[in-house]
Amino acid sequence: MREFNYYRAGSVRDAAKRLAAGGNAMLLAGGMTLLPALKMRFNQPSELIDLAGINELKGIKLSRKGAHIGAATTHVEVAGNVELRAAVPVLSQVAESIGDPQVRNRGTLGGSVANNDPAADYPAAALGLGATIITNKRKISADNFFVGMFETALNAGEVVTEVLFPLPQRAGYAKFPNPATRYALVGVCVAQFKSGVRVAVTGAGSSVHRLEDFEEALERDFSPGALEGIPVSAANLNDDMHASAEYRAQLVGVMARRAVAMALD
């Protein structure tokens, strides 16, 4: 870690102002990705703007539009919220599949989506459920938000304040953890809405993405069997020591079928 200035923001407005003030400032949410990166000296911000003290970023509430979750809400808060679990159990499942207890007690929803790690769990949930990412400036649909590896539609100075998840009729998230990190080697979120089916996969490629073939098949027949035989191309999938691209392609099919089974369970 190198020396940096630490600033505890009192409000979203305060944080945004500070962020815009120049220098190489970064927002600190739970820090579960940023702090290890600082220790490894991968990032060298001039200032960290801590969002932990901003109450308006916290909390979970349900409305007719769906589940509104504040950006600074920790994974353990999402996993443990009884009303949320009843309304959209898949979100609790996703939250409790992240990392370990220490990570779940620190890591936040906003931090996860803003970081857009290609193997993170929340991006799959956000894209699979067709969430809306709300910032201090605008509302961005998940389809437009996750742009590429560690890349989002966020502009400089923009702060994620809330994520709104529509409530599906049913949904499931099946995750195959990387044996070393427990990030998703492949994670598939399947959600059925009146308007159609959404399938999002994380871990497999350079960024979270949707599987249109799977969505069409599941719209015709929402069952694991509907996905049998649909080929998954290994062409653009990640290939590393933990999983070859072909193996990941296999896991995409298996995890998608298991996610459907979970949704039906």
Whether 188 contacts 123, CB under 8 Å: no
User: What is the DSSP secondary structure assignment for residue 188, as one 8-state letter?
Assistant: E
Measured CA to CA, the distance from residue 24 to residue 119 in angstroms comes to: 26
Q: Please report whether residue 247 would count as binding another protein according to CB under 8 A.
A: yes
Residue whose structure tokens are 């599949």: 97
Q: Which residue has the tokens 């590896």?
A: 149
CB of 214 to another protein, least distance (A): 16
Nearer to another protein, 48 or 126 (CB): 48
Binding mask 120-159 for another protein (x = CB under 8 A): ----------------------------------------
Q: Is 223 in the site for another protein (CB under 8 A)?
A: no
Q: Please, what is the minimum distance in Å from the beta carbon of residue 254 to another protein?
A: 5
Q: What is the size of the binding site for another protein (CB under 8 A)?
A: 16
In this chain, which stretch among 61-69, 157-165, 207-215, 247-255 interacts with another protein, using CB under 8 A? 247-255
Kindly tell me the sign of the dihedral angle through the C-alpha atoms of 158, 159, 161, 167. positive
Nearer to another protein, 165 or 173 (CB): 173
- The sign of the CA dihedral 205, 240, 180, 227 is positive
Minimum distance, C-beta of residue 194 to another protein, in the bound complex (Å): 31
Query: Which stretch in 1-9, 10-18, 87-95, 162-170 sits in contact with another protein by CB under 8 A?
Result: 1-9
* Residue whose CB is less far from another protein, 108 or 238: 238
Does residue 179 touch another protein according to CB under 8 A? yes
In this chain, which of 25, 176, 190, 191 binds another protein, going by CB under 8 A?
176
Selected range binding another protein among 44-52, 104-112, 229-237, 245-253, rule: CB under 8 A? 245-253
Q: Which of 205, 42, 64, 232 is nearest to 123 (CA)?
A: 205
In sequence order, which residues have a C-beta less than 8 Å from that of residue 75 and are 6 or more positions away? Answer: 95, 96, 98, 99, 103, 104, 105, 107, 108, 109
- Which helix (H) or strand (E) segment holds residue 25: the answer is strand 25-28
Is 42 an interacting residue with respect to another protein (CB under 8 A)?
no
Question: Smallest distance from the beta carbon of 181 to another protein, in angstroms?
Answer: 5
Q: Does 67 bind another protein (CB under 8 A)?
A: no
Does residue 240 sit in helix, strand or coil?
Answer: strand
Scored b (16 or more CB within 10 A) or e, 7-36 reads bebeebeebbebbeeeeebbbbbbbbbbee
What percentage of the chain's residues is helix, strand, coil (to nearest 5)? Answer: 35, 25, 40
> Binding another protein by CB under 8 A: which of 180, 220, 235, 265?
180
The answer to whether 251 contacts another protein (rule: CB under 8 A) is: yes
Rule CB under 8 A: say whether 1 interacts with another protein: yes
Q: Which positions touch another protein (CB under 8 A)?
A: 1-3, 40, 176, 179-181, 241-244, 247, 250-251, 254
